[in-house]
A and B are shown apart, each in its own frame.
Chain A
Amino acid sequence: SSYLTQDPAVSVTLGQTVRITCQGDSLNTYYASWYQQKPGQAPILVIYSKNNRPSGIPDRFSGSSSGNTASLTITGAQAEDEADYYCNSRDNSGNLHVVFGGGTKLTVL
């Protein structure tokens, strides 16, 4: 399959831990990367290749992978973490194409 599936919406209580998931057949072969997008802004990379954080991204963001599912975990969610989150990886066609998940809207309560 060329598709990555994400839950449309997830909520978390301030200070608690939340996991956002991304499922797809290609994740059995490739690792996912994750992006945060706030309204009116371009996405920013928060995790790449399973569990690597770019400089400047808080260490409360982490990634993991198991089978066909990748996860982004925010440990101790902050109000500023409220955003849309997208995963991406390669598709499974063997043509090196890139696919994105449909996105998850995270609400911090």
Chain B
Amino acid sequence: QVQLQQWGAGLLKPSETLSLTCAVHGGSFSDYYWSWIRQSAGKGLEWIGEINHSGDTNYNPSLKSRVTISIDTSKNQFSLRLISVTAADTAIYYCGRRRTNNRDPWFDPWGQGTLVTVSS
């Protein structure tokens, strides 16, 4: 059974860079897209972007200018980097495995979530 374990800094100052990593335990690493999703307090879910084992990426257009998702296939890990953070980036960040039937996307499983707070 696939499990995702994520970690990274939880407190940042405005203009700093958010960095999170997600490790994939069990299952195939090469057959899926690996995603980041965030959730602001009391709000809904926002897809940030995704990467596959070949390094192909897709990003949310609203974040694309600030986001980089990378992958380390030797460690079965993928990472999120978000530059120039502001208070609006304060959220719980989740990693997830994105599956598809070549049309519809769904996420299963999810990581445990990391609360990232941006405050001066």
Contacts and interface: CB of A to CB of B under 8 A. Distances in A.
A97 B50 CA distance: 9
Given A98-B47, A99-B47, A89 B105 contact: yes
A43 B110 contact: yes
Interface residues of B, number: 26
Interface in B38-85: 43-47, 50, 58, 60-61
B45 A100 contact: yes
Given A42-B94, A48-B99, A98-B98, A88 B44 contact: no
Contacts, number: 72
A99 B104 CA distance: 11
Interface of B: 35, 37, 43-47, 50, 58, 60-61, 94, 98-99, 101, 103-113
Interface of A: 30-33, 35, 42-45, 48-50, 54, 86, 88-90, 95-103
